Amino acid sequence: MSDTTTDDTTKTGDDQDLGAAGSQLSTAPVEDAPTANLPALGVIGWARWFWRQLTSMRVALLLLLLLSLAAIPGSLIPQTGVDETRVADFRERHDVLAPVYDKLGLFHVYSSVWFSAIYILLFVSLIGCIVPRTWQFVGQLRGRPPGAPRRLTRLPAHTTWRTSATPEEVREAALALLKKRRFRAHAVGNAVAAEKGYLRELGNLAFHLALIVMLIAFAWGQLFKSEGNKIVVEGDGFSNTLTQYDDFKSGNLFTNDDLVPFSFDVKEFTGTYERSGPNRGTPRTYETEVTYTEGADGEEKRTVIKVNKPLEIGDAKVYLVSHGYAPVVTVRDGKGRIVYRDAVPLLPLDNNVTSNGVVKVLDGYRNPQGKKEQLGFQAFFVPTFGGSASGTMLSQFPALDYPVLALNAYHGDLKADSGIPQSVYQMDKSKMKEFKDADGQLLKKLLTPGETMKLPGGAGSITFEKDVKEWAGFQVVQEPGGGWALGGALAAIGGLAASLFVQRRRVWVRAVRGDDGVTVVEMAGLGRSESAKVPEELGDLAGILYERAPGVADPDPDSAPEPDGTPKPEGTPPEDPGTSSGPGTSDTSDTPDPTDPDPHAVPAEGAEQQ
């Protein structure tokens, strides 16, 4: 009975020894096993339990999934911060859904309470997860690999042989070999302990830290971002002030003082197109030559803005996003005086730049009776007219091959002074009257460059000048967190790759003198998870070490190997480590230890789990 107790105690000590050797191959927190008759948690206990759940990896992954799902409505439902016109149209068409969406905050998903709650919980979870693991990892880096277990033959990958070299020579050779292979190695008693693969845990921590950086960058960019659009005709300029934009939207914490001070002038727009083949009409070149200055007194510089090659000034980027034509028109009153002369930007309707818009004469015009009036012309422009035989006013090609301008004329009050903002591309006809032709129909005419349409009753005329300018549409974006978000994404990819493909493993080499005076060498390796890399690497190291400490003859070559290190025939190198039995290997399930009361004992739980 006393022998059995002693053996059980020895086995238990071996298992604990293996568990200690295989522990801390990662910085994952160890969960304590539940015990019976647990006392009531109380407020502090429940708070600790909630904190542990919130900072666990499974909850962080769940919150990350929820955040991805919560972002889906923002891409399917129109958002007030992106397109208020579409939101208003949705409200008009959906009387039942719109109030529900308002209560749920689906028209402003990214600033809603529930989206912010998921976002903040994920942020706290990642910080609570990464901080303790980082300190633990730093402690591991400052420490040394643990000493060798008492029975290396119980590890999943192991090998052993006998050599005539002294134990000191074997340990010195093993230490030099492991350090050459970039292991962190040191001598502990009669063995050498080494560890490698810290990049795995470093990559894991880098991945989580990168997620935090991405979350901060995303929040910073959303709160302080700005985005505005402006159409600039050749020869005109733009200054980065709020009143200069055609439309502008920004984050909740953005102020006008955050606008980067700069200005630029558009010198020339160049667009070329495919003339033949299946891609006829496809743009080949879109670029704008500009001169710009930074600040109020900056030096004037010249550059070319191309598609996907923006002009970068400080935190602002100026993108070329659209293009169109601006026919130059001249409006005269009945006495021949010029009351309006300018290039009128028209908005494209198709890929061939069929365009429409309006010409508004707000001041300076008097009708034949001498009264002040306003003129309005609906304009329809095609850069390449198909001819009257085509029957349609549609452009046949996007280049200026055969430009034609169609005009309709009105007079009256454009309601420009009503205080209600108006689009420069639309005309309010509620207080306007049509000019009539000789047949009593709406006055309209097709004009080629240089032609004039006369208004009836000596009311004046409008001339389509031979000069047709082009305009370029620019988008000015300020997103302060963009660079940090990109850096975080790259770091996350690199950290994830390291945590997936790098394996943290440990190797031990023990060299002791046997009872017959011959040195017995034992080598074993342990990885965090089952992988063919640990046995292969251990076999490679054992082969090199065997060359420096070759084997000697066994006392009895026909004898079976023993788990505690059996001699091999002279000149026979150690086999690749693994779980198969044979010379130089040991398997606890096939070769029982006569001193072990349970020859089929399973390796320590700590070693299996690692």
Q: What is the pLDDT of residues 262-310, one digit of tens each?
A: 999 999 999 999 998 888 989 899 999 999 999 878 899 999 999 989 9
Q: Which SS3 state, helix, strand or coil, does residue 238 take?
A: strand
* CATH superfamily of domain region 145-196+503-548: Kinase associated domain 1, KA1 (3.30.310.80)
Q: Could you tell me which residue, 20 or 67, shows the higher pLDDT? A: 67
Taking the whole predicted model, whether its pTM rises above 0.75 is answered as: no
Rounded average pLDDT over 11-20 = 56
Rounded average pLDDT over 154-165 = 91
How far apart CA 95 and CA 53 sit, in angstroms, is 42
Q: Could you tell me which residue, 455 or 143, shows the higher pLDDT? A: 455
pLDDT bin (cut points 50, 70, 90) of residue 556 is low
- Whether 384 and 397 have beta carbons less than 8 Å apart is answered as yes
| Helical H segments across 71-181, by residue range | 72-76, 84-93, 97-104, 113-142, 167-180
List the structure tokens of 341: 């002369």
- Whether 226 and 280 have beta carbons less than 8 Å apart is answered as no
Residue with tokens 């604990």: 16
Q: State the virtual CA torsion across 294, 295, 299, 303 in degrees, nearest 10.
A: 20
Q: State the virtual CA torsion across 21, 23, 26, 32 in degrees, nearest 10.
A: 180
Tell me what percent of the residues of the chain surpass a pLDDT of 90: 39
How far apart CA 129 and CA 135 sit, in angstroms, is 11
Q: Could you tell me which residue, 14 or 57, shows the higher pLDDT? A: 57
List the structure tokens of 248: 């502008």
C-alpha 361, offset from chain centre = 49
Q: Could you tell me which residue, 554 or 255, shows the higher pLDDT? A: 255
What residues have CB less than 8 Å from 502, skipping those under 6 apart? Answer: 197, 199, 200, 203
- Whether 502 and 121 have beta carbons less than 8 Å apart is answered as no
How far apart CA 288 and CA 492 sit, in angstroms, is 37
- Whether 379 and 359 have beta carbons less than 8 Å apart is answered as yes
Specify the pLDDT at position 22: 62
Q: Given its phi and psi angles, is residue 256 left (phi above 0), alpha (psi -120 to 50 degrees) or beta?
A: alpha
What Rg, from alpha-carbon coordinates, does the chain have?
A: 40
Which H or E element spans position 294?
A: strand 283-294
Closest CA to 288 of 272, 304, 312, 302: 304
Sign, Cα dihedral of 28, 29, 34, 35: positive
Mean pLDDT lowest for which of 136-150, 413-427, 468-482?
Answer: 413-427
Strand residues in 222-261 grouped as ranges (E): 226-233, 237-239, 247-250
How far apart CA 71 and CA 66 sit, in angstroms, is 9
Helix axes 113-142, 198-224, angle to 10 degrees: 150
Mean pLDDT lowest for which of 95-99, 402-406, 407-411?
Answer: 95-99
Rounded average pLDDT over 134-140 = 81
Q: Could you tell me which residue, 574 or 370, shows the higher pLDDT? A: 370
Which H or E element spans position 48?
A: helix 42-54
Strand residues in 221-364 grouped as ranges (E): 226-233, 237-239, 247-250, 262-273, 283-294, 301-306, 311-313, 316-332, 338-343, 347-348, 355-361
How far apart CA 24 and CA 17 sit, in angstroms, is 13
Whole-Å CA distances, 352 to 128, 414, 468: 57, 31, 16
CB atoms within 10 A of CB 513: 12
End-to-end CA distance of the chain: 34
What mean pLDDT is reported for the chain? Answer: 82
What is the total residue count of the chain? 610
CB atoms within 10 A of CB 138: 12
